[in-house]
């Protein structure tokens, strides 16, 4: 199944993701287009992705273009800002986060399975 990224570009989108996460888990991927590690992490997620659309929604944030939004995400979900970074949002809270080459699909699936709602 191909990963379909949804854009994350506004402060309002953060609130929509929090609300939406009560219905479906939401993944936020914070990406820098100037970072090779970000490109590798993004590729690994896209290559291994096997969630069907109703199982999880995936949001993509370009941290270079939308730095204030990235910082607000860190504040909202009480995580340290990093790039690349994934945050798994369930019931309005970040239940899993990883950065750099710790971002793997297997770990993401385990994080979701451990807290399945």
**Could you give all domains of the chain from N- to C-terminal order, each with its CATH number?**
5-114 (3.40.30.10)
Residue 91: predicted pLDDT: 94
116 band by pLDDT with thresholds 50, 70 and 90: low
Q: Is the pLDDT of residue 117 over 60?
A: no
> What DSSP line would sit under 3-42, residue for residue?
--EEE--SHHHHHHHHHHTTTS-EEEEEE-TT-HHHHHHH
Q: What is the pLDDT of residues 64-108, one digit of tens each?
A: 999 999 999 999 999 988 888 999 999 999 988 888 777 777 777
> For the chain, what is the mean pLDDT?
88
Q: pTM (2 decimals)? A: 0.90
Helix H or strand E segment including 86: strand 85-90
- Residue 60 clears pLDDT 90, i.e. is over it: yes
Confidence of residue 1 (pLDDT cuts 50, 70, 90): low
Whole-number Å distance between alpha carbons of 75 and 84 = 17
Q: Evaluate whether 73 touches 59 at the Cβ level (below 8 Å).
A: no
């Amino acid at each position: 199944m191909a990963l379909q990224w949804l854009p994350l570009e506004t402060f309002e989108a953060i609130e929509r993701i929090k609300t939406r996460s009560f219905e479906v888990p939401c993944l936020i991927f914070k990406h820098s287009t100037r970072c090779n590690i970000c490109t590798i992490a993004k590729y690994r997620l896209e290559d291994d992705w096997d969630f069907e659309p109703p199982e999880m929604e995936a949001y993509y944030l370009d941290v270079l273009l939308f730095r204030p939004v990235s910082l607000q995400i860190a504040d909202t979900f009480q995580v340290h800002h990093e790039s690349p970074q994934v945050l798994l949002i369930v019931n309005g809270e970040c239940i899993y986060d990883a950065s750099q080459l710790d971002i793997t699909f297997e770990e993401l699936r385990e994080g979701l399975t451990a807290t399945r709602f």
